[in-house]
Structure 1
Amino acid sequence: MGMFDFLKAKKNTANIAKERLRIIVAQERTGRDAPDYLPLLQRELLEVIRKYVSIDAEAVKVDLAKDGDHDVLDISVALPEGRQDAS
């Protein structure tokens, strides 16, 4: 461990916090126009996925986007690396 390694850790922490803030702001913006069922859909998807893989609540993102005249449901699931069975 070098003498100035502690400075790098703070910089990474600041970048992580900044990225998380961007995600929160983006979710708030999309949440204003989103249907009421999206949070429930997200929770139910999380429950189903947890039957097969151990993941946390932040791993599942459900968003609604516009594509011309159509609404597009965008579902993103961040799966853990390696095989982990839910218990």
Structure 2
Amino acid sequence: MGIFDYFKSKSEPSSASVAKDRLQIIVAHERSRRTQPDYLEQMQQEIIAVIRKYVQIESDDVQIQLENTDDCSVLELNVTIPEKS
């Protein structure tokens, strides 16, 4: 029955998958506009706004860092999500 599973329509993507795709688009866009060094703050505020649609967090719960090497850039995103009570 494995071959038939391949043809089944997939369920809707998870919110984490959608958020990851959005972040990749933001990163790709910002890489093309390297002349603007202040984008990280704006990106952080937008990411906080998206996360707040799903869970209440504080602004300092999101940390963003960009590391540049010779041939690539790495965007590190750390989000502290509170435990459910």
TM norm structure 1: 0.51
The 2-side partners of 1:38 and 1:67 are apart by 17
1:29-71: CA deviation from partner (whole Å, max 9, x where unpaired): xxxxx92110000000001100100000001111101344211
C-alpha separation in 1, matches of 2:62 and 2:82: 12
TM-score, with length taken from structure 2: 0.53
Question: Tell me, which stretches of 5 or more residues in structure 1 are unaligned?
Answer: 1-33
Which of the numbers 36, 39, 47 marks the counterpart of 2:38?
36
What residue is the counterpart of 1:80 in the other structure?
82
Structure (1/2) with the larger helix percentage: 1
The equivalences for 1:1-87 within 5 A come to 35-82=37-84
Give SS of 1:54's match.
coil
Instruction: Compare relative contact order (CA 8 Å, sep 6+) and give the higher one, 1 or 2.
Output: 1
Distance in 1 between residues matched to 2:38 and 2:58, nearest whole Å = 22
- The unaligned stretches of length 5 or more in structure 2 are 1-35
The 1:81/1:67 distance shift into structure 2, 3 A limit, reads farther
User: What's 2:10 paired with?
Assistant: none
How many aligned residue pairs are there?
50
Question: Over the residues paired in the alignment, what is the CA RMSD in angstroms?
Answer: 1.8
